[in-house]
Each structure stands twice: as structure tokens, then as C-alpha cells.
Structure 1
Amino acid sequence: MDKFFPIAPMDRTSKIMSNPFTTIIAICSIGLIWLIPYIFSPRGYKVTPKGIIIQLKLSSHFISKDKIKSIKLVGSIEPGNGITWLSGQFGYAGLFALKSGSMARVYATCWDNMVQIQTDNIDPYLLSPQDPVNFVKSVKELDRLKSGSR
């Protein structure tokens, strides 16, 4: 004959963990882990007569044409660790230590065909436009406008 043995009642920890409120908090926390990187991820770059606008989902970052010292194609970059902001889920944004030992401010979605912009600041910008060659040409035209206006 089979004998049935019920499980013991839940202890305090089990009761807390199985509480619907705890489940809601866990779901919201996971949602924030995904939402915050999405909000600050790069969405595109706009070259304007005044400089470059790095468009993020909720905000933007501006690089004045007067602060741009040089721009060049650098190809693939080997990333190191992200120091600030985010990396991975929806792109890369913020200050990064690179495998080469240098630092860069990265606003990109991939590490291939990168464009490096050197400004007055020590750390360069690394961007990943879909068409890096035309992006560089457009920014260099800003330099002609800048030098032609002086």
C-alpha cells in the first residue's frame, strides 16, 4: 500500500520568496536591467554645420566642430572593459578601457569599421556608423567650412 507524505509547511524565507509582491519586484528589476541600457544606447549620428550629434534614445551628445582635431577610420578595435555606462545589450556607450591600453569614449553598436574622432580632450571618441567612409568625408567637410570661415 502507498503512503502519502505531504511536504512540510513553508518556512519564513520560502513564504517571502513566493509572495506575489516579491515576484513583481523581481520582474520590475529585470525590466530595469534591460530598460536602462536601451535608453542610453546609441541610435545614430548626425553631422550638422555646427558639429556631430550622437543620438541616444532619450538624449544626445554633441561634439562641436571647433573641438574636432582629427578624424580617421581605424577599422576593428579590440575592446577591454567598460568603465562607465553600458556595454553589450543594445550597443556600447561611455568610457572604455581598450585592449591596447588606451581609453576611449565609445558610442557604437559594433567594434568593426570604427571611426576615431580626436578632440581637445585626451580620450578620443569611437563611433560605428553604417557607412564610415562617407561619415568621415562629411565630417572633413566641416573642417573645410571651419577653416574657410576664418
Structure 2
Amino acid sequence: MVHSFKIAPLDRTGKFMSNPLILVLTICSIGFILLIPFLFSPRGYMISTEGIVILLRTYKKSIPKTQIRSIEIVEYTQPGVGLTWVTGLFGYAGLFALKDGSTAQVYATRWDRMVRVNIISGDPYLLSPAEPETFLETAKKIILER
């Protein structure tokens, strides 16, 4: 003989969590959390006679030619803590404290084979072009030859 039993109704917590509004708010919150790093993530760099332009998804950040002291390739940089930063699935953007005790403006997607742009006053910039050698050669030709 088989006996069937109904399941007990949801308690207050269960009813609250199964509310469609809570589901929509959760999805929107997760989307918003992912949207902010996406909006401020780097998407490319431009080199012109005026300097280097960092292309972010929402705006452009310029490093004027007159502020650039030197440009070099850095094999690996050990990240520390982000100070005023955005990081996530889409890259790194903002001021970072590095493991060696220094700070840098980072607009990159990786921490190895970076290009460091040393400026006259302030923190250096760390960039991650896909072809760092080509970026360095072009920057030296266009920017550093004054």
C-alpha cells in the first residue's frame, strides 16, 4: 500500500525568495555589478603626435606628449591592491598599489608584457597592448623624437 503526502506550503522566507520581483531585482543587481567594470574597461590605445590616448568604453584618457619622460616594456608586474580602481572580467583601470611599494595608473587586461609610460610628474602608466614591441617602436618614433 502506497500513501501520498502533500508538501507543506512555503514559509515567509520561502514566499519572499520565490517572489518574481526578488528574482528580477537579483538579476538587475548582478547585471549592474558587471556593467560598471565593463563601462570603464580599456579597449585600445592610440598614438599620435599629441601623445598617447587610452580608449575606454565610456571616455578617452590622454597622456600628453609633453608629460612623457620614457616608455619601456616590463616583463611582469606584481599587482598589489587597487586604490581607486575598477577591475573585473574586462580588465583593470585606475590607480593600483604594486607589490614593490610603488603605485601606477593601470589601463590593461593583463599583468605580463606591459608597457610602462613614465611621466615627468606623477605615477607611471601601465598599458597592455597586444603587440608591446610594435607599440614601443611606434611610440618612440612619433612621441619621443622631439
Q: Shared fold by TM > 0.5? A: yes
- 1:138 is displaced (CA, Å) by 2.1
Question: Counterpart of 2:89?
Answer: 89
What secondary structure sits across from 1:133 in the alignment?
Answer: helix
What secondary structure sits across from 1:83 in the alignment?
Answer: strand
CA distance in 2: counterparts of 1:85 and 1:129, whole angstroms:
19
Question: Are 2:102 and 1:102 equivalent residues in the alignment?
Answer: yes
Question: Counterpart of 1:30?
Answer: 30
Task: Write out the 4+ residue segments of structure 1 that deviate beyond 3 Å after TM superposition.
Answer: 1-5
- Number of positions where the alignment pairs a residue of Structure 1 with one of Structure 2: 145
Matches within 5 A, 1:22-61: 22-61=22-61
* Structure 2 residue ranges without an equivalent (≥5): none
Question: Counterpart of 1:144?
Answer: 145
* RMSD over aligned Cα atoms: 1.5
CA distance in 2: counterparts of 1:85 and 1:98, whole angstroms:
13
CA distance in 1: counterparts of 2:57 and 2:10, whole angstroms:
45
Question: Counterpart of 1:116?
Answer: 116
Question: Are 2:122 and 1:126 equivalent residues in the alignment?
Answer: no
Moved more, 27-36 or 80-89: 80-89
- Kindly, what percent of the aligned residue pairs are identical? 52
- 1:13 is displaced (CA, Å) by 2.1
* Structure 1 residue ranges without an equivalent (≥5): 146-150
Q: Which has the higher strand share?
A: 2
CA distance in 2: counterparts of 1:38 and 1:121, whole angstroms:
29
Question: Counterpart of 1:70?
Answer: 70
- 1:139 is displaced (CA, Å) by 2.0
